[in-house]
């Protein structure tokens, strides 16, 4: 471990690992210590709800091989829990009593599944966040098993698609009027809904949960005004909450996560935060403070935090971007659709289409797309560039498939 103050990163997920390697890429030669709570090598999280469950053999992915950490001079500390930050002494204390000095500290502590109180203590009710969670779930995915997924967001639906592939009977329960209520336009959600039903997934929207009762080999979910759902396994996927305990105990400001400025710095100039655990202002949306839970945001903010811990003073300028793979369909969203006042649709053929979200002043503020494979990927990337430039493309040109988005970018 670091013997002299260097840079300490708490959290060995996508964001923390990217920050550690970015520090070396930027020429930092001091000690870099990466603290991970899990015993595994740092791994990618997106496969947990997809390839880890869908196939006969789990297909997980490490972010980097162990040799790469050693080659880069990064001290990776596994199975280590950071329990306190002493801001005056500039040290991070671990559960085993070790105190690590820091010159700069990055909190990349991620998020944890939102708990459902009525599911607590019921053995059949589980959550998915870690590698071990995924392995425990897949062990129970025998053909014909009845699986209930509580929550019709990205994780719940990706998991439903993967579990259905394993031959399980799947029911998705969503209390909202439709699936994907947060950040996904209704037209795209309807396509996803129909594809799940075509695959044999039952989806119950507007279904309030009255109670969950344990059964000898599973659980019964009692729904308000609807027949109950019996399941051998219940996976709760109702969102995530940022891991702010360490920051809160250290007296750092919180605001839907650890509050940071445009440079990802907290109200302590020596401490930064990045990834799922922090909220930050987006200049492109008038300084609106957001917290993003996505793979690419973790990557981008890890690299940005590394540069700014080296006093580069670069503001966050990336356009939010999300994606989800379900069956043969890929959904991609650039920007924040709820910033738009109107929508323009562009049909691409083969069932693929784009929705452009336009602000009151004519600016393109978001683009959403869905289609098989990579059908929408290129156009979403070009739309993302238009959003970053605060472009005001003519709606009729956005709607016309023959108009190349690249030409709008050039204009």
pLDDT of 190 higher than 80: yes
Check if the beta carbon of residue 175 is closer than 8 Å to that of residue 161.
Answer: no
Tell me: the pLDDT tens digits for 275-312? 999 999 999 999 999 999 999 999 999 999 999 999 99
pLDDT of 99 higher than 80: yes
The pLDDT value recorded for residue 401 is: 94
pLDDT of 2 higher than 80: no
The mean per-residue pLDDT over the stretch 118-123 comes to: 96
| Cβ neighbours around 203 below 10 Å, total | 21
Nearest alpha-carbon partner for 368 in 190, 142, 121: 190
Tell me: the pLDDT tens digits for 238-270? 999 999 999 999 999 999 999 999 999 999 999
pLDDT band at 1 (very low <50, low <70, confident <90, very high): very low
Tell me: the pLDDT tens digits for 347-401? 999 999 999 999 999 999 999 999 999 999 999 999 999 999 999 999 999 999 9
Q: Is 115-238 the same fold as 6-112+241-309? A: yes
The mean per-residue pLDDT over the stretch 225-241 comes to: 97
How do the domains of the chain map onto residue ranges? 6-112+241-309, 115-238, 328-410
Query: Whole-model pTM above 0.85?
Result: yes
CATH class belonging to 6-112+241-309: alpha beta
Tell me: the pLDDT tens digits for 5-23? 899 999 999 999 999 999 9
The pLDDT value recorded for residue 57 is: 80
Nearest alpha-carbon partner for 22 in 319, 315, 320, 308: 308
Pick from 46-60, 195-209, 272-286, 375-389: least confident: 46-60
The helix or strand, by DSSP H or E, that contains position 114, with its residue range, turns out to be none
Measured N-to-C along each axis, helices 186-198 and 154-165 cross at an angle, to the nearest 10 degrees, of 20
- Return d(Cα 370, Cα 231) in angstroms, integer: 31
The pLDDT value recorded for residue 112 is: 97
Nearest alpha-carbon partner for 141 in 112, 161, 122, 155: 161
pLDDT of 169 higher than 70: yes
- Residue 310 is classified by DSSP as T
Is 88 in a helix, a strand, or coil?
Answer: coil
Count H helices and E strands in the chain, helices first: 11, 25
Q: What Cα–Cα distance (Å) separates residue 326 from each residue in 24, 60, 135, 247, 370?
A: 36, 17, 20, 35, 11
- Return d(Cα 55, Cα 381) in angstroms, integer: 30
Q: Does domain 328-410 have CATH number 3.40.1080.10?
A: no
The pLDDT value recorded for residue 3 is: 54
Tell me: the pLDDT tens digits for 328-338? 999 999 999 99
The pLDDT value recorded for residue 260 is: 98
Strands (E), 198-260: 202-205, 209-215, 218-223, 229-231, 233-236, 240-242, 258-259
DSSP states of 24-63: HHTT--S-EEEE-SSSSPPB-SGGGGTHHHHSSS----BS
What proportion of the chain, given as a percentage, has pLDDT over 70? Answer: 99
- Return d(Cα 217, Cα 198) in angstroms, integer: 28
- Per residue in 72-85, is it b (16+ CB within 10 Å) or e — as a string? eebbbbeebebeeb
Strands (E), 350-387: 352-358, 364-372
CATH architecture of the domain with residue range 115-238:
3-Layer(bba) Sandwich (3.50)
């Amino acid at each position: 471990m670091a013997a002299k103050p260097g840079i300490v990163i708490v959290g060995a997920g996508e964001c923390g690992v990217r920050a550690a390697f970015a520090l070396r890429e930027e020429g930092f030669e001091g000690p870099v210590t990466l603290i991970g709570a899990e015993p595994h090598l740092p791994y990618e999280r997106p496969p947990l709800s997809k390839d880890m469950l869908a196939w006969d053999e789990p297909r997980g992915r490490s972010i980097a091989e162990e040799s790469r950490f050693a080659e880069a001079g990064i001290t990776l500390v596994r199975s280590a829990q950071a329990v306190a930050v002493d801001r005056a002494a500039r040290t991070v204390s671990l559960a085993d009593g070790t105190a690590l000095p820091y010159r700069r500290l990055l909190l990349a502590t991620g998020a944890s599944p939102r708990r459902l109180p009525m599911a607590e203590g019921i053995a059949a009710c589980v959550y998915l966040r870690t590698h071990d969670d995924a392995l425990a779930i897949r062990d129970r995915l025998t053909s014909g098993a009845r699986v209930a997924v509580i929550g019709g967001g990205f994780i719940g639906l990706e998991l439903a698609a993967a579990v259905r592939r394993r031959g399980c009977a799947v029911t998705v329960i969503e209390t909202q009027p439709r699936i994907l209520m947060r950040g996904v336009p209704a037209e795209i959600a309807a396509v996803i809904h129909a594809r799940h039903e075509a695959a044999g997934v039952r989806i119950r929207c507007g279904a309030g949960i009255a109670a969950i009762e344990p059964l000898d080999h599973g659980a019964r979910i009692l729904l308000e005004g609807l027949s109950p759902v019996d399941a051998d396994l219940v996976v709760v996927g109702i969102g995530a909450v940022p891991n702010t305990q360490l920051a809160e105990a250290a007296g750092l400001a919180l605001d839907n996560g650890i509050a940071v400025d445009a440079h990802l710095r907290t109200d302590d100039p020596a401490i930064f935060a990045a990834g799922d655990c922090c909220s930050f202002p987006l200049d492109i949306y008038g300084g609106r403070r957001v917290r993003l839970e996505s793979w690419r945001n973790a990557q981008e903010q890890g690299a940005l935090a590394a540069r700014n811990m080296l006093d580069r003073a670069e503001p966050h300028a990336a356009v939010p971007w999300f994606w989800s793979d379900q069956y043969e369909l890929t959904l991609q969203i650039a920007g924040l659709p709820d910033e738009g006042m109107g929508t323009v649709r562009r049909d691409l053929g083969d069932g693929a289409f784009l929705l452009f979200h336009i602000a009151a002043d004519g600016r393109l503020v978001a683009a959403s797309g869905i289609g098989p494979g990579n059908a929408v990927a290129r156009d979403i990337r070009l739309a993302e560039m238009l959003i970053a430039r605060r472009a005001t493309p003519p709606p009729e040109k956005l709607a016309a498939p023959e108009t190349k988005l690249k030409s709008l970018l050039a204009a």
